[in-house]
Structure 1
Amino acid sequence: MRQQSSPVRRYQIEVVAKAIDVLEALAGHPQGLSLSEMAARVRLPRSTVHRLVCTLQVKGLLVQATEHGRYALGLRLFQLGKEAEPQLAKAALPLMKELAAKFKETVSLGILEEGEVHYVLQVEGTHPIRFAGRPGMRGPLHATALGKAIAASLDRDLVKEIIAAKPLRKFTASTVTQLAQFWAELDQVRRNQYAVDREEQLEGVRCVASPIRGGDGAVAGAISLSGPAARFTDKRMRAILRELVPACLRISGLLGHPSSR
């Protein structure tokens, strides 16, 4: 359970907190969990978990995933998550504008949707030669900085399922298509809190990105800066990252992530 300040904890409703614990236990397990597995993860009696699951199921927040009694997150929860996107955009936009003004490069906000990066917000750069994307476009998880920043924060089993459905397609000579190399890169992204795309989706375009986390600690999205490879030297990317990573931590704090406040 998340640590909260004592005035807030004094007013929390224990059964609601337990229900949220059950939902969080299922996060990252798209194949579902049994009642016994959930009970072990949240450290509650199986009978208590069963009552919570029945209530969450009635509300559409959980579904019975298989006839073998495994449960998974329900569609209603994802619908609620979609409704929370404006909050993410509202928190991110001011800092995206600051980054765009400072570096004059295109700044993008992306989220995970159906195994791909969905670009939901963009502040276009002002350089005459610049990356010109658009909100609504999609990109591969393995060949974009946004995708790698998000993937590194996901449960590995979920990433495996995404790769099984959307294999590591080659876009350019620089695209990572070997699974072992991809896992190693995600490990590095996790340590550094940023990802780099060196012309891996588009020839001549480089990109850096850093993840954003929500109040529950799960990745909510990522922010990237993109531009021509000739301008995105290693030195300039390091300068951008010195501003980008703290900016994403600040946005995470605005969304309630405790370690980012």
Structure 2
Amino acid sequence: MGRYRAPDPSSLTDYYSKAIGRALDVLDCFSDGETNLSLVEISKIKGFPESSLFRILFTLEAHGYLVRTADGSYKLAAKLLFGKLYDRAYSLRDIVHPFLKQLNTRFNESASMGFLFGDRIEVVDTLEAIQEIRRTNTLGRVLPPHCSSIGKAIVAFQERDVIDRILRINGLSRRTEKSITDHEQVLKEYEQIRTKGYSVDREESTPGGVCFGAPLHDERGHVVAAISVSVPLFRLSPEREEEMIGAVIDTARKASAAIASASPAAGAPRT
């Protein structure tokens, strides 16, 4: 039996609902929970007349798929948000994977990518070192925002209210004796991360392991994800540490540029 293929709307005019198709096209304008668009902006993106577009937006809002904000713009409602976030995360993973592979190959150490899903950071890609003793990661693993390099690299670049919410929801549990569990100290470290452009987990989440992370920026300049390279402490010399930090920063910069250039909405109006 052949593999199922989604129908082509242009070939099924007797069955295809143009009204539903337009509504879905409108929802596709919203890539994540931070995207706010006005009626005029959506009209320019999709080329729909404003009069018919208003009816679509009104209907989507009435059924709880869009929410209208105080300034009159629209954003995704909560019941659609996580599906969109997962689509977004795995789209970015495909873009970043070749860069992650280069990092993994260059040092023969484990390299990972994490993505911010609302209030939690989850591993969406990982490549392990070909070493008998190595740091490992697991797809789907939820990372602590205060003592993992990926978690730190993402959360440090969020707005203050978002940072406080993430820390409150995830907590500041002690994973090792080197974990920072004081709220103010965590905030100070985030400030240093924003200044330096990278994060370090030095035996804070796992004894005997060190991890260097750097943020990934999307086409709007927002930090939505991060990459890292992990190494057992006994394989880390000062020279190798310096090289790894430089490499993870450079790799994140190149991957961020690829994300921005690959985005179909890179030139669309955003707020």
TM-score (norm 2): 0.69
> Is 1:98 matched with 2:85?
no
How do residues 1-261 of structure 1 correspond to structure 2 at under 5 angstroms? 24=34, 57-58=61-62, 60=64, 62-63=66-67, 73-75=76-78, 76-113=80-117, 115-256=119-260
| Aligned-partner Cα distance in 1 for 2:84–2:169 | 25
Find the aligned partners of 1:82 and 1:56 in 2 and give their Cα distance: 21
How many angstroms does 1:88 deviate by? 0.9
Distance across 2 between alignment mates of 1:160 and 1:242: 29
Deviation at 1:55, TM superposition (A): 7.3
CA deviation vs aligned residue, 1:13-65 (integer Å, no higher than 9, x gap): xxx9xx97xx7576xxxxxxxxxxxxxxxxxxxxxxxx898577358564379
Do the aligned partners of 2:199 and 2:213 also contact (CA within 8 Å) in 1?
yes
Specify the code of the residue in structure 1 equivalent to 2:160. R
Unaligned runs of 5+ in 2: 1-25, 37-53, 263-271
Counterpart residue number, 2:42: none
Structure 2 residue aligned with 1:8: none
Alpha-carbon deviation of 1:89? 1.2
TM-score with structure 1 length normalisation? 0.72
What is the identity, as a one-letter code, of the residue corresponding to 2:227?
I
In 2, the alpha carbon distance for the partners of 1:61 and 1:156 equals: 28
Rg larger for: 2
Amino acid in structure 2 at the alignment position of 1:74 = A
The 1-side partners of 2:191 and 2:245 are apart by 18
Q: 8 Å contact 1:60–1:77 — kept in the other structure? A: no
Asked if 1 retains the 8 angstrom alpha-carbon contact of 2:148 and 2:204, the reply is yes
Counterpart in the other structure of 1:32: none
How many pairs does the alignment contain? 215
